Amino acid sequence: MWIDIVFSGGGVKGFAFAGALKVLEETGYQFKRTAGTSAGSIVAALVAAGYTAQELKKIMSQMDTNKLLEPSARMRFPFYKWLRLYFKMGLFSGEYLEWWLAELLKAKGIEEFADLPKDALKIIASDVTKGKLAVFPDDLEDYGLDPNHYSVARAVRMSCCLPFFFEPVPLYDGNGVKSLIVDGGILSNFPLWVFSSDGELPTRPFLGLQIVDKDSEFKEEMKINNAAELFRGLFKAMREAHDEREIEKLKGSSIVFLPVDKVKTKDFTISHEERERLFQIGETGAKKFLKKWSY
């Protein structure tokens, strides 16, 4: 059966997606349209390009995540880190991620959005200059760019630009005004809405795969007692408020929760044992969901 699928953000926790996809594929599901934010956009792009769950697991098992950090000898000096953060607005460029993904996509004959079926892939990013969500390739025209002839890998890189960690990617609109594009998870970490049909029945079934903290599949109140906790609360609200209504509406019917613990979003030194555990979490979450899902 053909379905549409949406992947949440989650950093390296997103390795769990490969396990969930394996179960879905073995159950007979194929993916017509994919969408994702941040780490989810990487998986969405690879699935849209034709990678199977087994291929994804192999890629993720062999991936040298340390290379994403592009170490520099000068990064050993704290003052240089602050200078880079101030002038570049990110500790790392994100160029390796783009190159790595471009090579994987090229192996399947995919470079630009035109190489994919129409509407097969939606990438979510955040335009912090204009203060709005950006959906690629759809919104590329707003920046004077041809949506069909834009790099899929570059769009994914923008969706993964975690603020202050990776440098923002600049885009220029038709008037030459520069926008800085960052991680889509800042404004929508789980874009279930992206395939909505304005109240109409969906063309086909769809599922959302969401990375959640273990034992907190549903929203919990935060305790805020100081300025640091207030900042975290504000950041969490920005990430979740846009999606909360859709999640509440669909959490009992179309969302596969993948509860992850003991792994941090930016744990780029993740071991092979931890990766295998994440694959198993994905498989377990999908099997649990499919026991009660029918369409």
What token pair was written down for 110?
A: 């995919």
The mean pLDDT of 166-191, rounded to a whole number, is 89
pTM over cut 0.85: yes
User: Residue 109 is part of a domain; what is its CATH number?
Assistant: 3.40.1090.10
Let me know: does 243 contact 189? Beta carbons within 8 Å: yes
What was the pLDDT predicted at 218?
Answer: 45
Full DSSP string of 181-239: EEEGGGT-SS-GGGG--TTSPPSS-EEEEEEEETT-SS--PPP--SHHHHHHHHHHHHH
Let me know: does 160 contact 106? Beta carbons within 8 Å: no
Domain of residue 265 covers 2-291
pLDDT tens sequence across 103-160 = 999 999 999 999 999 999 999 999 999 999 999 999 999 999 999 999 999 999 999 9
Residue 73 in this model has a pLDDT that exceeds 50: no
The mean pLDDT of 63-85, rounded to a whole number, is 66
What was the pLDDT predicted at 81?
Answer: 66
Higher pLDDT, 230 or 292: 292
What was the pLDDT predicted at 264?
Answer: 78
Residue 206: strand pairing partners = 4
Residue 85 in this model has a pLDDT that exceeds 70: no
What was the pLDDT predicted at 71?
Answer: 60
Name the H helices within the chain.
16-26, 39-49, 53-62, 78-88, 95-106, 152-159, 227-250, 272-290
What was the pLDDT predicted at 227?
Answer: 66
What was the pLDDT predicted at 295?
Answer: 63
pLDDT tens sequence across 3-51 = 999 999 998 999 999 999 999 999 999 999 999 999 999 999 999 999 9
The mean pLDDT of 83-99, rounded to a whole number, is 78
Q: How many domains does the chain have?
A: 1
Residues acting as catalytic residues:
38, 183
Higher pLDDT, 206 or 135: 135
